[in-house]
Amino acid sequence: MEFFTNIMWMVDILEVTHEGILKKFEFLKGNLIVGKAGIKGANSEERLPPDQHVPETHILHNLVRGFYKPAGKPYILSYQATESSKNYGKQIIWNDESETEFLHIEMAPPDKENDPSKKSDIAAARYNLNHNIPIGILHKIKKGHNRMLGLGIITSERDDGVFIVEPYSLKDSSLHPLEQLKRLIKNEEINTNFVAEVVQRRGQAIFKKKLLEDSAKCAICGMDEPSLLIASHIKPWKYSSDFERLNKFNGLLLCPNHDKLFDQGLITFTDEGNVIISSFLTPKTKNKLGLTENSWIHLDEAHKKYLLWHRENCFKA
């Protein structure tokens, strides 16, 4: 079941009520809700009654700030995006607005320095990112008018602190995550190169996360700065099936130098994990790159078929 980890994680972490709220966001997608009664109940004490999706009283969003982080929970449950030029500017990049399909949301964290919830909001959004927990999205069209945009998933955090949210669906959950993603972003207006690029970017992030869970350092030299580590496919992405693209045994975590050497076929490994160095590298270069004939990596049985492929198709003897 390792290929459905994003869904499994969600079920593990979210309580039934919050899972139900996400289902409700998906169900309500495209609906316009006028007034706060349909989102958090008629007044501050009231909540929405149980319904077909959610087994107990609940709210979809607190309408106080963009981020809605339920009290005591480590994650964001929903986000209210705007297109207003005030405050955070335009946050919704549309794919097809008439169909309520966004391409991505630029989720802006609170910008007031003294905001007491700023830190915990940002930490919570990172929690969603690291655990692949989807969020419900509301579009505040104007005061008291919210349109439900369905679900999104945070796929990255930009250097300026903005979280990028891409569309997500709980349906088709029996499909491979990359296939789900392809269907989500497929649109005749968008060229297939763009779809392939987004799928690859997202897939690489999932793949790196899987490899980091096992061992967060370069398999060859031990360099352990997470932001510099590269999840290197043994059998390259373009030749792999969707299954192979996210299979952690088709990957090695490497530092930039060692990734480049492996990617260009200047090094490979035996089934025992011993390095084989290309004759294209001079002794001086080998020395500078910290490679000796004694270098080796730890391997599992499941790596071997991919390494065989690499030796036969990538390695430049």
Summarize as ranges the residues that interact with Zn ion (CB under 5 A): 218, 220-221, 223, 255, 258
CB of 305 to Zn ion, least distance (A): 24
Cα torsion 26, 29, 31, 34: sign: positive
User: How many residues in total does the chain contain?
Assistant: 317
What SS3 state is found at 277? strand
Give CA–CA dist 295/277, Å, rounded.
10
Residue 19 or 259 having the CB closest to Zn ion: 259
Strands 230-233 and 163-168, by their bridges, are unpaired
Least separation in angstroms between residue 277's CB and Zn ion is 14
Q: Which is nearer to Zn ion, 89 or 256 (CB)?
A: 256
Nearer to Zn ion, 40 or 310 (CB): 310
Q: Where are the alpha helices (DSSP H) in the chain?
A: 5-13, 16-28, 37-40, 118-131, 177-185, 192-214, 242-245, 256-263, 283-288, 304-313
Q: Output 93 or 276, the one with its CB closest to Zn ion.
A: 276
76 vs 220, beta carbon nearer Zn ion:
220
Q: Is 5 helix (H, G, I), strand (E, B) or coil?
A: helix
122 torsion bin: left (phi>0), alpha (psi -120 to 50), beta (else): alpha
Given the complex with Zn ion, which of 28 and 255 has the nearer CB atom? 255
**Measured in Å, how far apart are the chain's first and last C-alpha atoms?**
37
Residue 159 CB, shortest distance to Zn ion, in Å, is 25
Amino acid letter for position 227: S
